Chain A
């Protein structure tokens, strides 16, 4: 589980949000669907910047100070101001924005659950294999 896990989570969340947008727009309304899309987009950008900031700051080689400064400047004032503007705009329902924001954590939880189930099944397989070997021997 490396940094590629974060990238996969971001990609999966964006795909899930687009699917949710299509379904919610079709069955409920456009504002709620687009709110979920915007919330997920904001959350993905936040996670992407956070991951890159930590990766660069903890680089065992010489950390790139300009990149770190740029990420801090984009993430904290710019992205948070964008979030404030989205809320102040009052176009999207707050509940949809929060639902979109939470979607990424749901994806992380389900991915972690899937990994846990896979490890559990592989453990069971190896345990079964050792039992079979013992019974044959």
Chain B
């Protein structure tokens, strides 16, 4: 097996794992934030800001994976 075949096989799997992890993390974070906002509406703005930063960080991890896949994709052919 050449490294090109290995890359072609593993890149989509890696990207799928990254997307799944990000989606799972975002879902958990947002649901916890919604619950907290429902329990304490007076702290909603603080929770919202924390949630936005958390969402941005989670999204960034997926984007890192995406960029890595794009860069490595060029090495397949």
Taking Cβ atoms with an 8 Å cutoff, the residues of A that contact B are: 1-3, 5-6, 43, 46-47, 50-51, 54-55, 58, 60, 83-84, 87-88, 94, 97-98, 101-102, 104-105, 108
Question: Is B46 among interface residues, defined by CB-CB distance under 8 A?
Answer: yes
Question: Does A46 contact B52, Cβ atoms closer than 8 Å?
Answer: no
- For residue B57, CB closer than 8 A to chain A, the reply is yes
* A94 / chain B contacts, CB cutoff of 8 Å: 67, 71
- Cα separation A123 to B55 with both chains bound (whole Å): 30
Give 5 nearest A-B pairs by CB, closest first: A2-B45, A51-B52, A47-B56, A1-B49, A87-B70
A–B pairs, 17, beta carbons within 8 Å: A1-B45, A3-B49, A3-B52, A54-B52, A54-B55, A58-B48, A83-B63, A87-B70, A94-B67, A94-B71, A98-B67, A101-B63, A102-B60, A104-B56, A105-B56, A105-B57, A108-B53
Q: Which of B45, B53, B55, B70 has the most CB of A within 10 A?
A: B53
Within the assembled complex, what's the spacing in Å between the Cα atoms of A15 and B75? 36
B51 within 8 A of A: yes
Which among B37, B55, B67 is the interface contact of A50 at CB below 8 angstroms?
A: B55
Number of interface residues of B (CB under 8 A): 20
Using Cβ atoms and an 8 Å threshold, which residues of chain A touch B45?
1-3
Judged by DSSP, the binding face of A is helix
Interface hub of A3, A54, A83 (most chain B Cβ within 10 A) = A54
Q: In the complex, which residues of chain B have a beta carbon less than 8 angstroms from the beta carbon of A43? A: 60
Tell whether, in the assembled complex, residue A1 and residue B37 are in contact, meaning their CB atoms are under 8 Å apart: no
B48 and A50 within 8 A (CB) = no
Whole-angstrom distance between the alpha carbons of A35 and B16 in the complex?
27
Distance, CA A105 to CA B53, complexed state (A): 9
Beyond contacts A3-B45, A3-B52, A54-B55: 20 other A-B pairs, Cβ-Cβ < 8 A, are A1-B49, A1-B50, A3-B48, A5-B49, A6-B49, A47-B56, A50-B59, A51-B52, A54-B48, A58-B37, A58-B44, A60-B44, A84-B70, A88-B70, A94-B71, A98-B64, A101-B60, A101-B63, A102-B60, A105-B57
